[in-house]
Amino acid sequence: MQVKYAEFVGMFQPKRIIDNPSEDRLREWALEQGGIITEFGNLSVVTAVRNRIAKFTEIVMGELGQEDIQLIHKVLEYLTAKEMIKLDRVMCHTPGFKRNCRVYVTTDYPRLPLMWGNTLFPPEEGGEPDFVTISVPEWPEKKTLVFPESGLTLCLGSDYKGEIKKAMLRQVMYWAKTEGNLGLHAASKILRVFRDGKLRDFGFLLFGLSGTGKTSLSCHSHWLCAPERVVIRQDDVVILRSDGSAVGTEESFYLKTDGLEPDSQPLLYAAAISPRAILENVCVDPETGKVDFFDTTLTSNGRAMVKRGDIAFTDNEIDLEKVDFVVFINRRYDVLPPVVRLTPEWAAAAFMLGESVETSAGDPAEAGKSLRVVGTNPFLVGSKDEEGNIFLNILRNNPDIQCFILNTGRVGGMDRGRKITVKDSVKIMEMMARDKIVWKKDEFWGYEVPVQIPDLELSQFDLSNYYPEEQARQLSGDLKQERLEWLSQFHCLDRDIINAIMP
């Protein structure tokens, strides 16, 4: 059995469908069902499931197994007695990339279509949906079934908004690949700075797993003064085209609120306290509405759904006309410098390695553990080798794109090492744009390491401060071997990618 949307619709017959209720009605409904108005006048909700159910997600290409067929029929039978909310939205606003999206959610969970509806653009007249997600949060079994060939996703047993958000983004990334582009789990922004006496725009793509600093860096002002500035474009998923441009997908940010405060993250904090924001699993006093972003009693994966327009330094565009810099955020705690510059082949290796640490957004039980996820993209569908090869081809066809690994962890060990702060990282990105970093080649790794970065004292990151020479050499050798072993599993990968880390 192959599940095609047209066939599924014939079997999908809820008792009643509430067709595209207004945002005001959904908000009232969410309040009636347990929502709280905070001290800032925005809505706060609490969910039973507080992170993505990645372990229970199945990608179905081709034929369905008998067990899944039986599950689908049980769900469809159950829904004949249920009322559901239907909501339509549009993803992307670039001609040729616009995708019609539709969600169905059982009526006990109006906050899900409310929050999801705020992430995308208003629906347009006519046309069937390209992507459909059916969400049944009250289902006793956790399960997400993804059917990329038909654009259909069935989400069961989760009332976490991130589940249906990623359901749609996973589909658009797969579709992008079938069209010869590459969907990326990456944020985008522009740094408008003076270089060689001229004010110029430089487009950045920032790769990183949820919770590793991607949103914090993409939404930072870099403390630039007019006429210099940043322009914030996207937070989560972009589509990289063969010409080196990047198409945006969403009209909102879904940011982590753990420890959010105005001094270190003023733009995100201001957006999170906007009346239009919706807080999810954030501690709020039910009597006073007082918000505590530092209280992780509910979860360390508290979130705020914020509109792009409530974040300073955004504009009406979500695309990057040109990508100049690709940055892989890698939260390591040992021998990786704060930043390294990569060849195209090394950048493709970094893409395939996808190094970071697990966070509460993915699997709270494994938070802090080192892991590798190709493209830092847990939502990748299809051949991982193909993704790496496409990425390398795009870089080779656009040789002016520079690529880097940015470490947001520590150098020298978890306990005694030097922490790399947000201030350090935003300064490094600024100096990338200004072309003020002095580099030298690391003969062991084959990439370039910084010799001088203005306003950053590099000596504090010197490995000799923390490790005897033999230990540093051993740690580096072990890391290289781990990387080679990881890459060896991809049998169709361009050999230049593997050879890049074997200088």
Per-residue pLDDT tens over the stretch 355-398: 987 655 555 555 556 789 999 998 999 999 999 999 999 999 99
- Which one, of 322, 354, 300, 329, lies nearest residue 220 by Cα? 329
**Average pLDDT of the segment spanning 272-279:** 97
**Average pLDDT of the segment spanning 112-123:** 96
Distance (Å, rounded) from C-alpha 470 to C-alpha 33? 61
Q: What percent of the chain clears pLDDT 70, i.e. is strictly above it?
A: 95
Q: Per CATH, which fold does 252-310 belong to? A: Phosphoenolpyruvate Carboxykinase; domain 2 (2.170.8)
**Average pLDDT of the segment spanning 432-445:** 97
**Average pLDDT of the segment spanning 154-170:** 96
pLDDT at 4: 54
Q: What is the DSSP string of 120-161?
A: SBPP-SS---SEEEEEETT-SS-EEEEETTTTEEEEES---H
Beta partners for residue 279, in sequence order: 44, 304
Whose tokens are 């870089």? That residue is: 395
**This prediction's pTM:** 0.92
Reading the block at residue 366, the tokens are: 């494994």
Distance (Å, rounded) from C-alpha 260 to C-alpha 283? 12
pLDDT at 263: 86
Residue 116 backbone phi and psi in degrees, to 5? -65, -40
| Structural domain boundaries in the chain | 5-32+53-159, 184-250+318-499, 252-310
**Average pLDDT of the segment spanning 76-86:** 97
pLDDT band at 1 (very low <50, low <70, confident <90, very high): very low
> Are 5-32+53-159 and 184-250+318-499 in the same CATH fold?
no
pLDDT at 9: 61
**Average pLDDT of the segment spanning 259-283:** 93
- Which one, of 341, 339, 332, lies nearest residue 403 by Cα? 341
Three-state secondary structure of 470-492: HHHHHHHHHHHHHHHHHHCCCCC
Give residue-wise pLDDT tens across range 168-214.
Answer: 999 999 999 999 999 999 999 999 999 999 999 999 999 988 767 88
Model confidence at 344: pLDDT above 90: yes
Residues 5-32+53-159: name the CATH superfamily.
Phosphoenolpyruvate Carboxykinase, domain 1 (3.40.449.10)
Core vs surface per residue 458-477: b (16+ CB within 10 A) or e: eeebebeebbeeeebeeebe
CATH 3.90.228.20 fits 184-250+318-499, yes or no: yes
Give residue-wise pLDDT tens across range 455-482.
Answer: 999 999 999 999 999 999 999 999 999 9
Model confidence at 163: pLDDT above 60: yes
> Average per-residue pLDDT in the chain?
93
Model confidence at 299: pLDDT above 90: yes
In three-state secondary structure terms, 449 is strand
